[in-house]
């Protein structure tokens, strides 16, 4: 059995025979094929017969993989993982394209003889500094994971839990995770939206929006499009082609 993905700032999906129209989003994105090549247009430039790419946030792109499997990693841009990816780009560079499995494995420093998305994620996380998280940060993360569905969660809510001022807690959380509290809360809610949309296909999107802490479907549509470049309706429409790792 495959191990679960532990880092909360990485959303990993597997897509089959999927064509995605041109879009852009706030997340860093890594797209990798483990079987056949695919075609993509990134920032107006056409790439045919490639095995993957890494793009910065807000770079327009689309993919055509009609006969293959794509592994898609979405990374919260202000997290430590996102900041590590930022450091891999040269000045003025907005994307990195992989033309062969060897290029992919070389970039992520993984074994050359096979493709495994878990190995790539492990290699990516191995570049992060080892941190012993403050117990107050851990407590806030646990609280968000258990209570993200509540529509009213404020900085004061978090501060009262760990007996810190909102400003001190915000600084501590940012220092240890790279992300702000509000961005982590939003990211957690959107991850759960995607999971529910793909796994509980009979549920309405309005119900999912409410149950994940959004005020209504329009608010969910706004944040979903900003972060991932597509509304939940498009995800639901392709739910037979997309799975969550």
What's the per-residue H, E or C state across the chain?
CCCCCCCCCEEEEEEEEEEEEEECCCCEEEEEECCCCEEEEECCEEEEEECEEEECCCCCEEEEEEEEEEEEEEECCCCHHHHHHHCCCCCCCCEEEECCHHHHHHHHCCCCCCCCHHHHHHHHHCCCCCCCCCHHHHHHHHHHHHHCCCCCCCHHHHHHHHCCCHHHHHHHHHHHHCCCHHHHHHHHHHHHHHHHHHHCCCCCHHHHHHHCCCCCHHHHHHHHHHHHCCCHHHHHHCCCCEEEC
pLDDT band of residue 1 (cuts 50, 70, 90) is very low
Q: Does this chain's domain 10-125 share its CATH topology with 135-229?
A: no
Mean pLDDT in residue range 74-81: 93
pLDDT digits (tens, 9 = 90+) for 149-179: 998 898 889 989 999 999 999 999 999 999 9
Mean pLDDT in residue range 185-211: 95
What is the fold, at CATH topology level, of the domain defined by 135-229? Arc Repressor Mutant, subunit A (1.10.10)
pTM over 0.75: yes
pLDDT band of residue 240 (cuts 50, 70, 90) is confident
CATH code for the structural domain at 10-125:
2.60.120
Mean pLDDT in residue range 197-213: 95
In the chain, where the domains are located: 10-125, 135-229
pLDDT digits (tens, 9 = 90+) for 25-73: 999 999 999 788 999 999 999 999 999 999 999 999 998 887 888 999 9
């Amino acid at each position: 059995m495959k191990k679960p993905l532990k880092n909360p700032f990485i959303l990993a999906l597997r897509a089959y025979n999927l064509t995605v129209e041109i879009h852009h989003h706030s997340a860093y994105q890594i797209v990798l094929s483990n079987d056949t090549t695919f075609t993509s247009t990134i920032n107006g430039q056409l790439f045919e017969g490639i095995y993957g790419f890494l793009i910065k946030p807000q770079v327009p792109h689309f993919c055509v993989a009609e006969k293959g499997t794509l592994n898609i990693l979405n990374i919260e841009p202000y997290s430590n993982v996102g900041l590590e990816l930022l450091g891999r780009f040269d000045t003025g560079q907005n994307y990195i394209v992989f033309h062969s499995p060897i290029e992919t494995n070389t970039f992520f420093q993984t074994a050359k003889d096979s493709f495994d998305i878990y190995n790539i994620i492990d290699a990516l996380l191995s570049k992060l500094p080892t941190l012993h998280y403050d117990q107050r940060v851990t407590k806030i993360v646990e609280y968000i994971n258990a209570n993200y569905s509540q529509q009213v969660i404020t900085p004061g809510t978090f501060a009262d839990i760990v007996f810190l001022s909102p400003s001190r807690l915000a600084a501590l959380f940012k220092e240890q995770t790279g992300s702000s509290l509000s961005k982590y809360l939003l990211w957690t809610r959107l991850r759960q939206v995607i999971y529910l949309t793909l796994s509980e296909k009979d549920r309405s999107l309005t119900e999912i929006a409410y149950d994940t802490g959004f005020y209504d479907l329009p608010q969910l549509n706004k944040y979903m499009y900003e972060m991932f470049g597509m509304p939940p309706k498009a995800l639901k429409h392709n739910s037979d082609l997309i799975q969550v790792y």
